[in-house]
Structure 1
Amino acid sequence: MKSLQHFIGGRWVEPADGDILTVVNPATEDAFARFGAASAHDVDRAVTAAVEAQPRWAALSVAERVDRINAWADTVAEHAAELAELECREMGKPVAVGRSFIDGSVAGLKAAAAQALTYPFAETVTGPDEVRTDIVRHPLGATAVITPWNFPVTMVLIALGPLLAAGNAVVVKPSERSPVSTGRLFELAEAVGMPPGVMNLVLGDGRAGGALAEHEDVQLVHFTGSVGTGRRVGAAAGGRLHRSVLELGGKDPVVIDAGVDPVATAQAVAFGAFVNTGQICTSMERIYVHEQIADAFVEALVAAAQTFTLGDGLEPATVLGPLVDERQRDVVRRHVDDAVQKGATLRTGGVVPQRPGYFYPATVLTDVDDTMLVMTEETFGPVAPVVVVRTFEEGLARAAESRYGLAATVYTGDPDHIVAATRLPAGVVWVNQWQGGGPERLYEPAGDSGMGATGARAAYDAATRPAAVHIAPTAPAANR
């Protein structure tokens, strides 16, 4: 069993006190790792280390900071297979899926760092009367990143690139359900000589996260997780008049037009609904399909779902790993049972297998409506509820009827329908694809899915504070 430590000020340390928490392999239900949960005192030590290290880090040139980040990224890439296996053991993601996302996030880290080389940390404009104005963007100082359990490696890499490249120091608090791979990321950062105190790691549950969000010296909190916790994090940061970037839950819709290939689209939707066992913030959780192709689409979706074989993600044949733990499986089962009890038709799946591990099969439901939990609350599991609509416009309207607004996907070949899709209330809208988008992608979630723009230049805007310096052409003459 692995024993984990905190990384504070360039040293691996045990917590001052606190409970011992255990990480369980969800495929076997065996204990995989253990660690002492950080207390408020440990969090304070980590923030203090960040505050002390940050000025020296900010004093480096942008190019020097980018070089350090790139060295870390290259080392992470060399260890991508190892990191994917750790993710599999701690939260169930099949290794091939984990490797794909890790490779993509390494590329994203390097692209985000490269943007620092062209970001306008200093701009000059000349106004009336030849008064020059310099706009200087300063790093914030000590920042915090609180990451979710479903993508422990990816979410750290995505968040840290702009924060570090802009000259901030960081304290990271991963989910207590999957901290092992994050710990390894910090070992790799130490190995490439990241300066002590620039990157700090505290392990723990919501108590550590709360202490971090409430700390008076944390100037920004970047949080990804549930709506309820996000509200508390945002309130804590706001109470200090500090910034927060919140990416919270989603109930992401898919709208499928009449003119698309129903079989190819069903295969794409199956991937979007079931990959990583549906444990992605942007998983396809509400599917609205035009009645003209509905029968063929549902038939193909059921067939595709049945190809998602259950198993331990360490096995190459596994397509669908376990859910992260029993608690999450109970949520998924409750949503499906609620739908069936209220009249939904179970087309495939929906039965917990009799085997060790927190498995749940790829599940397709039809005849669903908005009285059902599976259509209104985030399921975060391998469940695809399908609603048949009479028109594309009806599909768009129903897709927009949600308190969430993280992402949406539309399949259509009609140019006018593509234009209409851009008006969906979501931070990201994909048309005729799911996922995708390069380093230029910029978005802000809508509704209960969060707040704070991120991506591309917006990530640097959030990581810096602008100051205006007005300079007159001559100083006043001295009195004689």
Structure 2
Amino acid sequence: MDTLQNFIGGQWEEPVGEDVVAVVNPATEEAFAQFRAGGADDVDRAVTVAVAAQPEWAALTVARRVELIHAWADTIEAHADELAELECKEMGKPVGIGRSFIAGAVAGLKAAADQAHTYPFSETVTGPGPEGERTDIVRHPLGVTAVVTPWNFPVVMVLGALGPLLAAGNTVVVKPSERSPVSTVRLLELAASVGLPPGVLNLVLGDGRTGAALTEHEAVQLVHFTGSVGAGRAVGTATGHRLIRSVLELGGKDAVVIDAGVDPVATAQAVAFGAFINTGQICTSMERIYVHERIADEFVEALVAAARTFTIGDGLDPATVLGPLVDARQRDTVRRHVEDAVHKGATVRAGGAVPERPGYFYPATVLTGVDDTMLVMTEETFGPIAPVTVVAGFEEGLTRAAASRYGLAATVYTDDPDHIAAAARLPVGVVWVNQWQGGGPERLYEPARDSGMGATGARAAYDAATRPAAVHITATAPAAGL
């Protein structure tokens, strides 16, 4: 069994904690790696090293920092198959799906780093005033930043956060989820292999206590956190108390609104992908489906047929479409939501029962007859469940889609220009129209409501990673007194 270690200052170190955490393959229920959960001492050492490394890193030219980030990205790309297999073993994602997401994340890392070339780290602004006066706006790196990542996309979420932080001149301490740290450890090994200076990128292993020690450390100047609403509130409280920044991407209960004029079969196939891919373990999974009554019967029939094509199996098998859930606790949540819906009157049209086999599997499930009293419509399920509600019209679908405490993203299928315009009013960070996912490197957004806070993407990510200072300059100094 592999024993994982912290990566601090370019060296691998055994955490000083006493609690041993096992990493379990969710397809087999067998442990294949372990580590000691680090504590405050581990965090303090990592942050101290990052503080010492930051001035030299910031002193490099932007071009040099970007060059090193690109070298790391190229190495990750060359090891994408290996990383996808590690993700599969630690959290169940089928290798083919994992590889495609990692490829997208590598491209995103390069694009985010390249934005440093055009970001205005220094600019001059002018305004009314005496001739010869000007104001220079200089954006300084914050210093040490913390990145706390979730278990469902261990590689993608690390890469998505690091580009602007590193390119802007900050150093970083990463704390991956205790459920899936193995691929992140490998990422740090690859970073060391391309000559990233020691202390620029560090890793501490541990559980929620380790994460709390990191987010509360007095030398950390920004926390980039992705995870649950409850944990995000704790991070926001800690950073707010210290008057430092946090970027929080939390839970989602994303809605899909399907208009009468679309192809019900093609749309059902697209929705099946958005609801079931990665076994529904995506923050932006389609978790609430509102379909126009005129096409509802055809849509549901096609969705049920599509659900039955999502074959369950170990993600290391190329034939597998639907891997396991990450652990027994997550499967229990999914099962509880389905049982609650059935108890309150919903109908299971596909799936809906735990298979009798090893592993934390749950089938692609379609529910109809759901209402807004059910957990599956109000709480984040994070599983392969597609609950369908029939609505009388598009406006009703939009209204019900907006009636949630979450506001991460939403998807709308319509050919009506007026309805497309109306979809933009949904109180969420991202709206996709006639496709799920997508958007170029210039996209920026901010989650709404309980789904988080802090704008991210494109220039917003660099704004968060830097602190602006205004330098007011008058060309002529006062004459010496007599």
Matching residue of 1:3:
3
Aligned residue runs from structure 1 range 278-357, under 5 A: 278-357=280-359
Matching residue of 1:432:
434
Per-residue CA deviations over 1:32-72 (Å, capped at 9, x if unaligned) read 11011111000000000111100000000000000000000
| In structure 1, distance between residues paired with 2:239 and 2:318 | 44
Q: Tell me, what secondary structure is at the counterpart of 2:303?
A: helix
Aligned residue runs from structure 1 range 220-231, under 5 A: 220-231=222-233
Moved more, 129-138 or 282-291: 129-138
For 2:87, the aligned partner's letter is E
Give how far 1:162 is off: 0.4
Matching residue of 2:15:
15
Q: 1:400 aligns with which of 380, 397, 402?
A: 402
| In structure 1, distance between residues paired with 2:264 and 2:185 | 44
Aligned residue runs from structure 1 range 189-200, under 5 A: 189-200=191-202
For 1:329, the aligned partner's letter is R
Question: What is the percentage of aligned positions where both structures have the same residue?
Answer: 81
For 1:186, the aligned partner's letter is L
| In structure 1, distance between residues paired with 2:17 and 2:263 | 59
| In structure 1, distance between residues paired with 2:15 and 2:84 | 27
| In structure 1, distance between residues paired with 2:444 and 2:458 | 6
Residue pair 1:405, 1:425 contacting (<8 A) in 2 also: yes
TM-score of the two chains, using structure 1 as the length reference: 1.00
Aligned residue runs from structure 1 range 117-266, under 5 A: 117-127=117-127, 128-130=129-131, 131-266=133-268
For 1:353, the aligned partner's letter is P
Q: Tell me, what secondary structure is at the counterpart of 1:402?
A: coil
Matching residue of 1:101:
101
Give how far 1:126 is off: 2.3
| In structure 2, distance between residues paired with 1:50 and 1:332 | 40
Matching residue of 1:464:
466
Residue pair 1:18, 1:39 contacting (<8 A) in 2 also: no
Q: Tell me, what secondary structure is at the counterpart of 1:116?
A: helix
Q: Tell me, what secondary structure is at the counterpart of 1:304?
A: helix
Q: Tell me, what secondary structure is at the counterpart of 1:115?
A: helix
Give how far 1:156 is off: 0.3
Per-residue CA deviations over 1:206-245 (Å, capped at 9, x if unaligned) read 0000000100100000000000000001100111111000
| In structure 1, distance between residues paired with 2:239 and 2:257 | 36
For 2:100, the aligned partner's letter is S
For 2:62, the aligned partner's letter is V
Give how far 1:83 is off: 0.1
Matching residue of 1:110:
110
Residue pair 1:262, 1:297 contacting (<8 A) in 2 also: yes
Give how far 1:95 is off: 0.1
Unaligned runs of 5+ in 1: none
Q: Tell me, what secondary structure is at the counterpart of 1:381?
A: coil
Matching residue of 1:90:
90
| In structure 2, distance between residues paired with 1:77 and 1:45 | 30
| In structure 2, distance between residues paired with 1:32 and 1:246 | 31
Give how far 1:2 is off: 1.4
Matching residue of 1:423:
425
Deviation >6 Å, runs of 4+: none
Q: Tell me, what secondary structure is at the counterpart of 1:433?
A: coil
For 1:126, the aligned partner's letter is T
- The alignment status of 1:372 with 2:374, answered yes or no, reads yes
TM-score of the two chains, using structure 2 as the length reference: 0.99
| In structure 1, distance between residues paired with 2:456 and 2:439 | 13
Unaligned runs of 5+ in 2: none
- Root-mean-square deviation (CA, aligned residues, Å) is 0.5
| In structure 2, distance between residues paired with 1:297 and 1:32 | 42
For 1:129, the aligned partner's letter is P
